[in-house]
Amino acid sequence: MQMFASLRRAPEGTNSSLVRFQNVGLRYGLGPEVLRDVSFRLKPGSFQFLTGPSGAGKTSLLKIIYLALQPTRGMITLFGQDLSTIPRKQLPPLRRRIGVVFQDYRLVDDLTAGDNVALPLRITGAKKQDIETKVAELLDWVGLGDQIMTRPPTMSEGEKQRVAIARAVIAQPSLLVADEPTGNIDADQSVRILRLFEQLNKVGTTVVIATHDQHLLTQFKHPVLRLEDGALAVQQPPLPLGPGDGR
Amino acid sequence: MWRRRSEAPFWREKSERFIPLIIALMVFFAALALATTMALDGASRQWLQGAAGTLTVQIPAPPSAVTKDEETARIDSVLSILKAIPTVESARVLPRREIAALLERWLGEGNVSDRLPLPAVIDVKIEAGKKVDMPDVRQRLAAIVSGTSIDHHEQWLNQRVRLAQTVQFIGLAVVFMIGIAAIAIIVFATRAGLAVHREIVEVLHVIGARDSDIARQFQEHALWLGLRGGAFGLALALVTFFLLAQLAVGLEGPFWTHLTLGPFSWVALGLLPVATAVITTLTARVTVLLALRDVV
């Protein structure tokens, strides 16, 4: 499909970790730790579920991954870079390599679906013609090709989520993070959304999805990271360091 | 279909419709204060220039009837003393009709009859940068014609100039305070905007917008607010100046005729909306950048 021409990416390197957490802890203010000694690795091109009960720390973990929060302890390597040593000014370029799908979509109501999807490309200063082409392609891919001019308040929850996904992937991110992307939509739409994520994964995007939907976990058999009370209940087995780790 | 890159319609809050109006009022008052300051500055210079190096000598009317020759001799004796002073450039006796014209402003036209005894007035010009020994001249003139008085205009005007300068200082202080108030309003409005649109700002942040990208959204909006408000405020001020000028038509006297605005003053006033826009833009930018500094 032509869509894949837009989204296909160069492989990151199969032996290195795209994301590496090592004894990461997070505390809000003086309260108890919401994340405790979290350690895991995400290989490039992997597809990972993140699950756990409400309040387990899934959203906090994802926020750290997409650089909206800083951990209070531990080490994180992202795209081969130690986050503790990166100056704040260099974070935006890293963020542009991460696509985020929020549970509440976070679409701009005053903008059309097309303008919402175009936001990440506008920020990078892409040419207007390129933006128009890619936006049309992606909205077509998510099944909303005829709704470029529609505004979010008039859309269904499923449609909004698909616009949010299109926005998250238009800049061809290396890593796609989704926080409960099926939380507000029905089962059929949920399956459709997950299939979109799988298509993205097939072209090389690393995908992490936080969900507590057991049906999806059962239906889509991908590795699962389970958080309970801020700690990983099932830790990944330690893997040998790849050539890209700790660069 | 596509909006301009710089447009951020989600920053338009209904409460912001009052901000251009507030800015307009501030620019209006700033324009009034600035125009007053500049007009007084120009007038002060002209007063000093006109009065600098001039004296007025009044020879009182003779106590009893004298012949015209005797009157002329009295005046010539005073004139000769004045002209003999080395630093005096010129001394001119004002014709009676000029004196009468000066008095008619107070007494009314046609109320100064030819039989009204008027003092003789001599207009003396002193060489630029030079001075006259006033006590000595007073003494010498009084010895010839008792009651002769000398008015040193510079001394008289200095007091008025000091007053004008004080008013100018107050005017500039008012303009400065208006600027501070405008900054405070924009800071408040920008921080309110950031709070209201916190989620959208977070989305932009997450998708990789730099702080400067986010700040640009706010500063472009603030620029537009500042230009609109500034232009409207200036227009209001210009209408006020026109009305005041109409009211002042026919007023005579150096005080009124010297209260004008030169080309530079008009240019300065015309730049007020631009200055306002610069202030609002920079304030919004700095406010956003400082607020985002606390965000990861």
Show me where the domains of chain A are located. Answer: 2-232
CATH superfamily, domain at A2-232: P-loop containing nucleotide triphosphate hydrolases (3.40.50.300)
Beta strands in chain A (DSSP E): 19-27, 33-42, 47-51, 73-78, 81-82, 98-101, 175-179, 206-210, 224-228, 231-232
Q: Is residue B84 part of a domain?
A: yes
User: What is the model's pTM?
Assistant: 0.73
Nearest to B2 among A109, A120, A132 (CB): A132
Pairing of strands A206-210, B120-126: unpaired
Size of chain B in residues = 296
Residue B245: partners with Cβ closer than 8 Å, 6 or more residues away: none
Same domain, B287 and B190: yes
List, for residues A32-45, the tens digit of each pLDDT value: 999 999 999 999 99
Minimal CA separation from A64 to chain B, in Å: 10
Q: Is residue B118 part of a domain?
A: yes
A67 at B interface, C-beta within 8 A? yes
Q: What is the dihedral of CA B183, B185, B187, B193, to 10 degrees?
A: -150
User: What is the model's pLDDT at position B1?
Assistant: 31
Among residues 161-180 of chain A, which lie with CB inside 8 Å of chain B?
167, 171
Pairing of strands A73-78, A81-82: antiparallel
Work out the number of other CB atoms within 10 angstroms of the CB of residue B24.
Answer: 22
- DSSP code at position B60: P
User: What is the model's pLDDT at position B5?
Assistant: 43
Interface pTM, i.e. ipTM: 0.82
> Phi, psi at residue A112, to the nearest 5°?
-75, 170
Give how many domains chain B has, as a whole number. Answer: 2
What would the DSSP string read from start to end of A90-120?
GHHHHHTTEEEE-TT----TTS-HHHHHHHH
User: What is the model's pLDDT at position A22?
Assistant: 94
Same domain, B191 and B271: yes
Asked if residue B153 lies in contact with residue B121, where contact means CB atoms within 8 angstroms, the answer is: no
Quickly state the pLDDT bin for A238 (edges 50, 70, 90): very low
Nearest to B203 among A70, A106, A112 (CB): A106
User: What is the model's pLDDT at position B10?
Assistant: 46
A93 contacts on B by Cβ (under 8 Å): 208
A136 at B interface, C-beta within 8 A? no
- The residue ranking higher by pLDDT, B134 or A236, is B134
| pLDDT value at A60 more than 90 | yes
Q: Is residue B55 part of a domain?
A: no
Asked if residue A178 lies in contact with residue A169, where contact means CB atoms within 8 angstroms, the answer is: no
- DSSP code at position B218: H
Nearest to A123 among B2, B199, B213 (CB): B213
* Residue A123 to residue B208, Cβ atoms within 8 A: yes
User: What is the model's pLDDT at position B253?
Assistant: 56
Same domain, B105 and B223: no
Same domain, B134 and B215: no
B196 at A interface, C-beta within 8 A? no
Q: Is residue B80 part of a domain?
A: yes
- Average pLDDT by consecutive 10-residue portion of chain B (296 residues)? 42 72 94 90 74 81 79 87 88 85 77 78 85 85 85 75 88 94 93 87 90 90 92 94 82 60 88 94 95 81
Same domain, B164 and B288: yes
Q: Is residue B1 part of a domain?
A: no
Q: Is residue B152 part of a domain?
A: no
* Residue B206 to residue A95, Cβ atoms within 8 A: yes
* Residue A112 to residue B1, Cβ atoms within 8 A: yes
Beta strands in B53-210 (DSSP E): 54-59, 88-93, 120-126, 149-152
Q: Which residue, among B6, B200, B206, would best test binding to A if mutated, counting the most A CBs under 10 Å from its CB? A: B206
Asked if residue A147 lies in contact with residue A113, where contact means CB atoms within 8 angstroms, the answer is: yes
What would the DSSP string read from start to end of B170-210?
HHHHHHHHHHHHHHHHHHHHHHHHHHHTHHHHHHHHHTT--
User: What is the model's pLDDT at position B259?
Assistant: 67
* Residue A100 to residue B5, Cβ atoms within 8 A: no
User: What is the model's pLDDT at position A208?
Assistant: 96
Minimal CA separation from A230 to chain B, in Å: 21
Quickly state the pLDDT bin for A16 (edges 50, 70, 90): confident
Same domain, B84 and B161: no
User: What is the model's pLDDT at position B52?
Assistant: 67
Residue B225: which domain range?
A: 9-49+157-292
A191 at B interface, C-beta within 8 A? no
Nearest to A128 among B2, B12, B296 (CB): B2
B5 at A interface, C-beta within 8 A? yes
Inter-CA distances, B157 with A27, B103, B165, Å: 74, 20, 12
Same domain, B123 and B88: yes
* Residue B9 to residue A95, Cβ atoms within 8 A: no
Work out the number of other CB atoms within 10 angstroms of the CB of residue B192.
Answer: 13
* Residue B206 to residue A93, Cβ atoms within 8 A: no
Same domain, B183 and B274: yes
Residue type, B149: S
A222 at B interface, C-beta within 8 A? no
Q: Is residue B264 part of a domain?
A: yes
User: What is the model's pLDDT at position B257?
Assistant: 57
- With CA atoms as reference, report the closest residue to B216 among B155, B292, B136, B271: B292
List, for residues A86-99, the tens digit of each pLDDT value: 998 899 999 999 99
- With CA atoms as reference, report the closest residue to A167 among A108, A212, A215: A108
A109 contacts on B by Cβ (under 8 Å): 10
B2 at A interface, C-beta within 8 A? yes
Nearest to A92 among B5, B203, B210 (CB): B210
CB burial of B117-145 (b: ≥16 within 10 Å; e: otherwise) equals ebebbbebebeeeeebeeeebeebbeeeb
Quickly state the pLDDT bin for A1 (edges 50, 70, 90): very low
Same domain, B189 and B251: yes
Minimal CA separation from A88 to chain B, in Å: 7
A146 at B interface, C-beta within 8 A? no
Q: Is residue B56 part of a domain?
A: no
Asked if residue A138 lies in contact with residue A212, where contact means CB atoms within 8 angstroms, the answer is: no
* Residue B296 to residue A67, Cβ atoms within 8 A: yes
Same domain, B142 and B171: no
| CA–CA distance, A47 with A59 (Å, rounded to integer) | 17
* Residue B206 to residue A66, Cβ atoms within 8 A: yes
User: What is the model's pLDDT at position B12?
Assistant: 60
The partner residues of A75 in beta bridges, in order of sequence, read: A22
A78 at B interface, C-beta within 8 A? no
Q: Which residue, among B207, B212, B221, B289, would best test binding to A if mutated, counting the most A CBs under 10 Å from its CB? A: B207
| pLDDT value at A4 more than 70 | no
> Phi, psi at residue A34, to the nearest 5°?
-90, -15
> Phi, psi at residue B133, to the nearest 5°?
-75, 95
Query: Going edge to edge, which strands form the sheet with A19-27?
Result: A33-42, A19-27, A73-78, A81-82
